[in-house]
Structure formats: structure tokens, C-alpha cells
Amino acid sequence: MSLIYNIGILAGIQPEGVLRVEGKEQGETGILENAWLRIDDGRIADFGPMSVMPGPDRASLDACGGMLMPGFCDSHTHIVYAGSRDGEFLDKINGLSYEEIAARGGGILNSADLLNRTLEDDLYAQSMVRVREMMSKGTVAMEIKSGYGLNPDAEMKMLRVIRRIKETVPAAVKSTFLGAHAIGRGYSHKAYVDAVIGMIPEAAKWADFIDVFCDEGFFTVEDTDRILTAAKGLLEPKIHANELAVSGGVQVGVKHGALSVDHLERTTDAEIEVLKGTGTMPTMLPGSSFFLGLPYGRAKDFIKAGLGVALASDYNPGSSPCGDMRFVMAQGCIKMRLTPIEAFNAVTLNSAYAMGISKDYGSITPGKKAALILTEPSWDLTRMAYQYHTPCIRKVIQ
């Protein structure tokens, strides 16, 4: 048991049973000033005001007036990859688009070539550098996708590496099979979709979710429908949709009961309508809008329509080489005009929902995991997004 006391602001309090926040509720969260919080067996036991604090014990921690909040949940990453794509960074600066780089054999296929040549232990070591970086910046739960293997052996190698990360780190790790990330080298389009379907039973032994890059130039709605039909009952869908075009990916994702549909840089009101009343969490990835110069998702319109929105980093070598969830939160505010509390809920409770773990993560609620960020004194949620580059995390508790 341990006690954290002298908490300046305890932020992100939610009643038990709230698994996501939508519409107006996304702009609200429970805050308690001058508080204590007790942890028992790694879980939040209770909390209250300093005026009625339980007696401190040997394991107490003086928060010195810092803010205590739930750690970040990053529900969309591709952090298992080999090498780097810094050469393409120069192509990009010289004016080539993401699609043009991909069409020249760069992009995802470039990462796949590197990954196929990389030994499993080395891939694990390279990926762990990024995992540690994310954890040091306050991420306590992360989803990690395959998708740079693009053949059965290398896809399974990726899923094994993700499993090994999960077994090594204190952060919660969820694993997604993204065989349908690009057409693997040496396959025709049809043969590769068939191959992905063939990989599903083995992938289901390693992964929690299945993803398809349903977008212009990658996989069609029909491919996605076939793949998700084959995965039914084995892997729950989380879809890449509407990054490069209005792709129909949201609709096919909702049809298959996807837990989340992600990217959404290009959406019309039809996508908003189809998401209403579903269990699917729209997830936006401002880091890739920033890096690729794409439009930012219409998060505010989604919330106005009564939906919830999650934000995630999309940490990957091609479209978002950054896993800093504070930067994601800041972009939610600055570029998507979310209020700091809307952005905070998007990177904690709603992103936990988007990876199926909001029963245990994403808010200050008795019974949830004590996976927390303690800041230096005088920080609050607004300052966290506003002064987004000033170090403020004193300790990540997990």
C-alpha cells in the first residue's frame, strides 16, 4: 500500500463504470484540489481532500503540489520497426507526397525490406528504445501493430516481438495484426489479400486486434470486408480509414463492429452519421497530419454531433516519428480546437476505450490500475497542452 499526498490537482476523476466520454461529456472531468490518493496492490484504492487525510505510512510520496493524472493511453502505434526512413524525410522536404514516396517503392515497403533483413532480437532491441521513450513521456498503455513484415514469416516475427515487449514492460500492451498494411513484395493484390486471410488463424494466437489500411492505393472496401469477415470471432477490428481519401473505411469498420476507426483526416458528414449510436471510437492522429501536411480531423464536429473522440500518436517511421502524447494533446487543442479537457479525455479515457482497456485505465477511479503521471508543482491540464514542450513530468507511476 502507498499514499500520495499534497497533490495540488487530482485530475481525471470518473465514477466507476464510465468507459468513454462522448459529446458534451468529453469536455468534463472530475478535479479535486489539495488531495491524497491511496494505492493498494497496484490499483487506486481511494482518494480524498487533504483536510481528511489518512495517516501516512512508510511508502508515502509527497507530491509537493504537483498534478496527479491518469497516464497516457496510446491506442495506435507502429513502434516495432527496423532502422529509419530519414532518407525519405529529405524526399518529403523536396516536395514528394506520401503517396509518391510509396509509389517509388519507398514508404511502408522500404520499412518492410529493412524489417525482413533484421534479426528478431535486434528488432526487439530497436523497438524497446521507443517503448522506453514513450513510457518516460507518460504513456502507460500502448497498442502496437504489425504491418512491416508483409509475408507470413515476418508478420509473425513482429507479433512475437510485440508479445515480448508486453512481457517485459510494466505498461499495458495490446497487439494488432496489420498484415493488410501494403501489398507484400512479390504478390499480386489478390494473392496478397488471400495471404493475409491465410495468416489470420496464426495471428490470432498472438494478437488482440486486426487492422486494415482501407484507403486509396492500398486496400479497398471489398478487401477490408473479406479480411474482417475471415477474422470474425478471432480478432476484433481497428481500422485505418480516410487518411488519403474518403475511403468507405469508416462504414466497413462500423459494419464489422470495429472498436475504433483511425486517422479520419478526410471525413464528410456521412462518416459522422454512421458512427452515431455505435461502439466504435473515432480516433484521430494529429501527428500524421502535422508530419504529412494533411488536414486535421474534424474532432470538434464529431464532439458537437454527440460522439467521443480519441487521439493517439501513430508513432511510426513514415508519417509520425514521434510518440509524445503531450504533443498530441497540444495539437488537439491548437489545431483541432479541442478544449484542454476534451484533449485530455481523448488521450486518456477515450484512447483506453479504443484499445479495449478503459475498465482498467484512463481515469482516476477506485479499482483502476494506478498508472499515473505526477507532475512538478504548479501544472494543470491547460498548461500541459499550452506549454507543451517544457518538461513537467516528475514521475510516471506504474
Residues of this chain that interact with Fe ion (CB under 5 A) are: 314
Instruction: Tell whether residue 318 is a contact of ligand NIG (CB under 6 A).
Output: yes
Residue from 196, 290, 294 nearest 242 by CA: 294
Instruction: Tell whether residue 319 is a contact of ligand NIG (CB under 6 A).
Output: yes
145 versus 166: smaller Cβ distance to Fe ion: 145
CA 146 to CA 177: how far, in whole Å? Answer: 5
Taking CB within 5 to 8 Å according to partner kind, which of ligand NIG, Fe ion, none is near residue 283? Answer: none
265 versus 342: smaller Cβ distance to ligand NIG: 265
Residues from 341 through 360 that contact ligand NIG (CB under 6 A): none
How many CA atoms, within 13 angstroms, populate the side-chain half-sphere of residue 259? 25
Taking CB within 5 to 8 Å according to partner kind, which of ligand NIG, Fe ion, none is near residue 313? Answer: none
Q: How many CB atoms lie within 10 A of CB 387?
A: 12
Taking CB within 5 to 8 Å according to partner kind, which of ligand NIG, Fe ion, none is near residue 213? Answer: ligand NIG
Taking CB within 5 to 8 Å according to partner kind, which of Fe ion, ligand NIG, none is near residue 318? Answer: ligand NIG
314 versus 324: smaller Cβ distance to ligand NIG: 314
288 versus 365: smaller Cβ distance to ligand NIG: 288
Q: How far is CA 25 from CA 19, 123, 330, 366, in A?
A: 12, 41, 20, 20
CA 261 to CA 277: how far, in whole Å? Answer: 14
Taking CB within 5 to 8 Å according to partner kind, which of ligand NIG, Fe ion, none is near residue 317? Answer: ligand NIG
Residue from 233, 188, 174, 242 nearest 212 by CA: 242
Q: Which of 211, 223, 314, 342 binds ligand NIG (CB under 6 A)?
A: 314
Taking CB within 5 to 8 Å according to partner kind, which of Fe ion, ligand NIG, none is near residue 358? Answer: none
Taking CB within 5 to 8 Å according to partner kind, which of ligand NIG, Fe ion, none is near residue 107? Answer: ligand NIG
Torsion angles phi and psi, residue 285, rounded to 5: -125, 75
CA 393 to CA 105: how far, in whole Å? Answer: 40
Instruction: Tell whether residue 271 is a contact of ligand NIG (CB under 6 A).
Output: no
Mask for 63-82, x = binds ligand NIG (CB under 6 A): ---------------x----
Instruction: Tell whether residue 146 is a contact of ligand NIG (CB under 6 A).
Output: no
- CA dihedral defined by 124, 101, 97, 73, rounded to 10 degrees? -10
Distance of CA 154 to the CA centre of its chain: 23
CA 305 to CA 333: how far, in whole Å? Answer: 18
Instruction: Tell whether residue 317 is a contact of ligand NIG (CB under 6 A).
Output: yes
Q: Give the sign of the dihedral formed by CA 84, CA 90, CA 95, CA 101.
A: negative
In the complex, residue closest to ligand NIG by CB? 318
Instruction: Tell whether residue 130 is a contact of ligand NIG (CB under 6 A).
Output: no
Q: How far is the CB of 314 from Fe ion (least distance, A)?
A: 5
SS (H, E, C) 281-309: EEEECHHHHHHHCCCCCCHHHHHHCCCCC
63 versus 180: smaller Cβ distance to ligand NIG: 180
Q: Which of 143, 155, 223, 243 binds ligand NIG (CB under 6 A)?
A: 243
SS (H, E, C) 302-338: HHHCCCCCEECCCCECCCECCCCHHHHHHHHHHCCCC
Residue from 164, 174, 181 nearest 207 by CA: 174
Q: How far is the CB of 139 from Fe ion (least distance, A)?
A: 16
Instruction: Tell whether residue 29 is a contact of ligand NIG (CB under 6 A).
Output: no
69 versus 115: smaller Cβ distance to Fe ion: 115
Instruction: Tell whether residue 323 is a contact of ligand NIG (CB under 6 A).
Output: no
Q: Residues in the site for ligand NIG, rule: CB under 6 A?
A: 78, 107-108, 111, 213, 240, 243, 288, 314, 316-319
